[in-house]
Amino acid sequence: MRLILGPILGIVLTSGIVSAQSAFAVTGTAIPPSLLQQNYGKLPKDVNGYDLDICNTTEVKQSIVSSEIYQALAQYNSDLHPIGRRIMLAAILRNQNRSTGTVLTMVLSSVTGVLSVLSSSKYGPPAGVVTGSALGAISAQQIIANLKPVLTNDQVEKFETDVLEPALVLDGGSCVERTVFAAVSNPPLKSHSLQFHIR
């Protein structure tokens, strides 16, 4: 029995020492709102982005999952509420669907439909008025569609490459920069810099 317990105890102690030595240092700064809008489109209100430098301070390759970083960030500052990658992408896309251009396009589409029904009606307005209005509504739809800001392929690619992924594996002594989004319950904190350790 002693022969079995000795090696097992040695493995447990060794793994405890290795995990106690593993550490990540995280520093970060707030991303200016104009740059966030340029990179990712319109963001929901009271959501800010932070550029985090995540560094493996050990000499061996270590992995870390995003939930550990989110928890450490929330513990570091209780006014920051980290938002996950997929939730943030969905929020950005949904926010763009509520833009003035999208609503105006829907209204113009409805007007075009109403005008087409009126033009086929027996008691509708004069044909020239309906035709002119319908052509104007269709033209306005095309112009708005070309002017409307959407999340471009470049913005989606930037989101995919810059925003913190579910897990990171870093070589000893290496660092990586990733973007993290957080809801801010205290707006003056938007310019706040961050610095904390994990594990």
List pLDDT tens digits, range 29-48.
Answer: 999 989 988 888 778 888 89
Is 16 a residue whose pLDDT tops 50? no
Question: Residue 181 has what pLDDT?
Answer: 93
> Tens digits of per-residue pLDDT, 121-155?
666 666 666 666 666 666 665 665 555 555 566 77
Judge if pTM exceeds 0.85. Answer: no
Mean pLDDT of the chain: 75
All residues at 6 or more sequence positions from 48 whose CB lies less than 8 Å from its CB, including other chains: 30, 31, 33, 36, 181, 182, 184, 190
Domain-by-domain residue ranges, the chain? 23-94+154-198, 100-147
How far is the C-alpha of 163 from the C-alpha of 34, rounded, in Å? 17
| Token pair belonging to 67 | 């939930």
